[in-house]
Amino acid sequence: MSYGILIVSHVPEIAAGVPKLLQQVATDVSITAAGGTDEQEIGTSLEKINQAIAANQADELLAFYDLGSARMNLEMAAEMTTKKIHLYDTALVESSYVAASLLQAGVALAAIEKQLEPLKIKGNN
Amino acid sequence: MELTLENYLAWMQDFAQKIADKKDYLSDLDSKIGDGDHGNNMARGLKAVSEALATKPADLTSALKVTAMALISKVGGAAGPLYGTAFLEMAKLSSKTVDLSELITAAAAGLQKRGGAQAGDKTMVDVWLPVRDNLKNSQLTSEKIEQAVNSTKQMEAKKGRASYLGERSVGHLDPGAVSSGYLFESMLQTGVIK
Ligand SMILES: Nc1ncnc2c1ncn2[C@@H]1O[C@H](COP(=O)(O)OP(=O)(O)OP(=O)(O)O)[C@@H](O)[C@H]1O
Ligand SMILES: [Mg+2]
């Protein structure tokens, strides 16, 4: 499968938990995550995001995040990698779940993005 | 006003010291309208910057780049990519010009591109923009910096963690504006501007 999912959260446990929810309905989708700072504290780490991008088996990733610096670090990581990163300002749990189920069902990216649209809740903070 | 490797190193040393001294105060400010980590984030970042600059960089451009990378990788909060991008933009431009005003102008633009904040959004941008403008007219003073920092108190936050508080963010200083105030105070005090 050519598309993967990337989850970025401020909290290591959220980053570990969300993929569990998704993987249950998307067994064939590569889902990787980055959570917390390098010291496992609350925050985000560019290094962890870079690693999660590298570890993902797909070369085109749908990326979902929780708050503030997660988005900024995701943007920086996207500028550094050769993989294509699609960044969504949508509700983390719901939208990543939508993307995972639809990718598993083989739905095209454009159709997935249409489903994600009403879940946009941020990007202006 | 030109930035040199020498005055830049003195500037960063002074800034790191200020951040270390004001770490608890910055985190206190952040706990009022954010998550209470700005002082710790900045202290961790500036410690990494000091360590990285301890081996004297070959030139100003590499000193700026080393600073940016340390901030980006060690701060851990929004201030990391924001300050990091600002220093990275200065590094990029420094191979063409070392004029302080031009460097800060590029840094402020990078900051705004990364965070999307405008003037009045109650962020560090509310210090960077007036500093940029005052540098252009060679009119930057300590009072002007203080004024810019204090102006964030009455603003309602539109960006960052504080924006989730809406109007309850009014009446508190923005922590990133305060740390940026220290950055520019250090710049004045270490003779980068003569
Ligand atoms: N979008 C933005 N644009 C400009 N400055 C911002 C933005 N978001 C936050 N800031 C600045 O960053 C400061 C907070 O820095 P801090 O290191 O505490 O990050 P944080 O908000 O805890 O990060 P996180 O997004 O990981 O929760 C704010 O006081 C503000 O000045
Ligand atoms: Mg904070």
3-state secondary structure A60-125: EEEEEECCHHHHHHHHHHHHHCCCEEEEECECHHHHHHHHHHHHHCCCCHHHHHHHHHHHECCCCC
Asked whether the beta carbons of residue A69 and residue B72 sit closer than 8 angstroms, the reply is: no
- Express each pLDDT in B107-142 by its tens digit: 999 999 999 999 999 999 999 999 999 999 999 999
Mean pLDDT of B36-65: 98
What percent of chain B stands above pLDDT 70?
99
Please tell me the total count of domains within chain B.
1
Distances (CA, A) of A58 to A5, A25, A110: 8, 18, 17
Q: Is B80 part of a structural domain of the chain?
A: yes
At B194 the pLDDT is 67
pLDDT-derived band of residue B87, with 50, 70 and 90 as boundaries? very high
At B163 the pLDDT is 95
Q: Is B124 part of a structural domain of the chain?
A: yes
Mean pLDDT of A11-17: 98
Q: For residue B46, which amino acid is it?
A: L
Name the closest ligand to CA B31.
2
Structural domain including B128 reads 5-189
Asked whether the beta carbons of residue A45 and residue B73 sit closer than 8 angstroms, the reply is: yes
B27 touches chain A (CB under 8 A): no
Mean pLDDT of A26-55: 97
Mean pLDDT for chain B?
A: 97
We report the CATH number of the domain holding residue B75 as 1.25.40.340
List the domains of chain A with CATH numbers.
3-119 (3.40.50.510)
What percent of chain B stands above pLDDT 90?
97
Q: Is B63 part of a structural domain of the chain?
A: yes
- Express each pLDDT in B137-150 by its tens digit: 999 999 999 999 99
**Residues near ligand 1 with C-beta < 6 Å?**
A 10, 43-44, 67-69; B 30, 34-35, 37-38, 41, 77-79, 82, 115-117, 123-125, 159-161, 174-177
Asked whether the beta carbons of residue B158 and residue A39 sit closer than 8 angstroms, the reply is: no
B57 touches chain A (CB under 8 A): no
pLDDT-derived band of residue B191, with 50, 70 and 90 as boundaries? confident
CB-CB neighbours of B111 under 10 Å: 27
**Residue A1: pLDDT over 60:** no
**Residue A29: pLDDT over 90:** yes
Q: Under a CB-based contact definition with an 8 Å cutoff, are residues A29 and B64 in contact?
A: no
Asked whether the beta carbons of residue A68 and residue B73 sit closer than 8 angstroms, the reply is: no
**Residue A68: pLDDT over 90:** no
Q: Show which residues on chain A lie within 8 Å of chain B, measured between beta carbons.
A: 37-39, 41-47, 67-69, 72-73, 75-76, 124-125
B113 touches chain A (CB under 8 A): no
pLDDT-derived band of residue B192, with 50, 70 and 90 as boundaries? confident
Ligand 1 atom closest to the CA of A67, numbered from 1: 25
Mean pLDDT of A38-62: 96
Q: Is B86 part of a structural domain of the chain?
A: yes
Question: For the whole model, what pTM was predicted?
Answer: 0.95
Q: Is B194 part of a structural domain of the chain?
A: no
pLDDT-derived band of residue A16, with 50, 70 and 90 as boundaries? very high
Mean pLDDT of B72-93: 97
pLDDT-derived band of residue B38, with 50, 70 and 90 as boundaries? very high
Residue to mutate, B124, B173, B174, B179, ligand 1, most ligand atoms under 8 Å from C-beta: B124
CB-CB neighbours of B154 under 10 Å: 10
| 3-class DSSP assignment, residue B22 | coil
